[in-house]
Amino acid sequence: MLQSIAYENLSNPPATSAGRETLRQQLIHTREYVLERLRRNLASFGDKFPAETCVNGRYPLTENVEWTTSFWTGQLWLAWEMSGDEVFREAARRQVRSFGLRIAGRHDTNTHDLGFLYTLSCVADWRLNGSREARGFALLASEALLERYHAKAQIIQAWGDLDDPEQAGRMIIDCTMNLPLLYWASEQTGDPRFANAARAHVNQSARYLVRPDASTWHTYYMDRTTGEPRYGNTQQGYADDSCWSRGQAWAIYGFLLSFIYTGDKTMVTLSKKVANYFLNRLPEDGVCHWDLALKDTDALRDSSSAAIAVCGLLELVNHLPVTDPARARYQSWAEHIMASLSRNYLVQPDDSGTGLLKHSVYHLASNKGVDECCSWGDYFYVEALMRMTESWKRYW
Ligand code: GLY
C-alpha cells in the first residue's frame, strides 16, 4: 500500500557560495556564539523554563508545564556536550528532577508529547551520564504514553482526555517524533508492549497521515469502535488539503527514527518521499514558508521546520548507502538550509531577546507565536549545529 505513495524526483539545491569545509569552519564559530547566548539565557531563566509561546523575541518564564519545556533541557545537554562546561550539566540535572516530579504527580501529562518531554530531558541524561534516576522517570513517562494507545484503532491519541469526543481516535504527524521513547522503553525493560504500540502507530501514520502525493495531513481521525479510518484535517496548517510545513518536517525525521529502532526499510523510503516533497517546495533561500502550499507567495517562513528538516536529512544521509545518488543531494540540501538559517535567521549579537532562531510560526490561525522564535526551533538549530561540527550520538 505504501508503494502507491509518490516518489518525486529530488531537485538540486541552489549552488552555495561556501564549500563544505568553509561552512563547517563558519559553524564552529557560530557554535561559540550560540553557547554564549545559551549561557546568558541560563543566567536569566534560572530554574524556570521558556514558555511555549515567545513574545517579541523573549520567552516568558514558566514552571515545567506544556509540551515544550524539554527543548530547553535538550539545549542544555547539547551545550554541555559542546563546551564541557558543568554549569550546563548542573542546570540540566536540576531540570531532570523537575521532570521526575512532573511525571510522578502526573502534572500536565495528558499528551503524546511525553516523547519530546522525556526523551530530551531524562533519556538524554541516561544516555550521557547513565543516570538511573533519569531512566526511572523516563520509564514512568513511557507507561503514561502507552496508556494513550488505543488497541482497536492502533494509534496513540495525540491530545486531550482519552474520553474527550473531540480528540478520541485522533492521531497527528508530530507523534512520529514521540515514538523513540516507547522503543527505548522496550529496549530497557525487555517488555515488548511499548515497541509494539509504537510500531502499530507508525504503520497507521504511514497508511493514513501520508497522502498519495507524499504530502501529509496534520491530523487524522480513526473510528475507535470499528478501528476504521475516518478523515484527515489540519489544526495548524493553511487548509485541510494543504501541507503544514512542520508536520512534513516531523515526518522526515520521525519515520526515519522508527526505522532506526525497527529496521523496517519502508520507513527509510517513506522518509525520502516526504523529504523530496518538502525540498521541492522551498523558496530560494531554503527556509520554507509555514505551509508548503504557500510556495511562491510572500507568506511567513517557519524557520523551526527548516531546522527540524536539517536534522532529519543529516540523519537520513547516515542511513543511505554511498551508492544512493540522492545521498549527496540530501547532504547538500541540509547544508544549504543550515547556511541560510545561520546567515539570516539566527538572532543578531545586538538583539536582547532570549530566542535563538527568528521567524518561526507556531500557530497562525490562533495568532500564537507568529513570526517569533520558538524553543523547538532553537533546540533543532542547536542539534543541527552539533551534527554539522562533530560526530554526535542521538538522544532520540
Ligand atoms: N507539535 C506541535 C507543533 O509542532 O507545533
Report the 10 Å Cβ neighbour count for 393: 8
Report CA-CA distances (Å) from 123 to 78, 120, 128, 140, 375: 13, 6, 8, 12, 19
Q: What is the mean pLDDT of residues 147-172?
A: 96
| Domain residue ranges of the chain, discontinuous segments joined by + | 20-389
Cell of 249: 518536517
Contact 96, 131 (CB under 8 A): yes
- Testing ligand 1's pocket by substitution, the residue of 120, 172, 174 carrying the most ligand atoms inside 8 A of its CB is 174
What DSSP assignment string belongs to 353-369? Answer: -S-SB--EEEETTTTEE
What DSSP assignment string belongs to 159-181? Answer: BS-TT-TTTTTEEEGGGGGTHHH
Q: What is the mean pLDDT of residues 354-366?
A: 98
Contact 110, 157 (CB under 8 A): no
Distance CA 13, CA 318 (A): 19
Report whether CATH 1.50.10.10 matches the domain 20-389.
Answer: yes
Predicted local confidence at residue 283, as pLDDT? 97
Q: What is the mean pLDDT of residues 323-342?
A: 97
Query: Which residue's C-alpha cell is 525497527?
Result: 262
Under 8 Å CB-to-CB from 335, ≥6 apart: which residues? 13, 16, 20, 23, 388
Report the 10 Å Cβ neighbour count for 323: 6
Sheet strand arrangement including 229-233: 170-172, 219-222, 229-233
Distance CA 236, CA 91 (A): 33
Q: What is the mean pLDDT of residues 217-239?
A: 97
Predicted local confidence at residue 301, as pLDDT? 98
pLDDT digits (tens, 9 = 90+) for 10-58: 999 887 667 899 999 999 999 999 999 999 999 999 999 999 999 999 9
The ligand 1 atom nearest the CA atom of 113: 1
Query: What is the overall mean pLDDT for the chain?
Result: 97
What DSSP assignment string belongs to 57-72? Answer: TBPPEESS-SS-HHHH
Per-residue pLDDT at 351 exceeds 90: yes
- Testing ligand 1's pocket by substitution, the residue of 53, 68, 209, 236 carrying the most ligand atoms inside 8 A of its CB is 236
- Comparing 5-14, 215-224, 338-347, the range with the smallest average pLDDT is 5-14
241 has catalytic annotation = no
pLDDT digits (tens, 9 = 90+) for 177-221: 999 999 999 999 999 999 999 999 999 999 999 999 999 999 999
pLDDT digits (tens, 9 = 90+) for 236-293: 999 999 999 999 999 999 999 999 999 999 999 999 999 999 999 999 999 999 999 9
Per-residue pLDDT at 147 exceeds 80: yes
> Quick one: which of 217, 274, 213 has its CA closest to 241?
217
108 has catalytic annotation = no
Residue minimizing CA distance to atom 2 of ligand 1 = 174
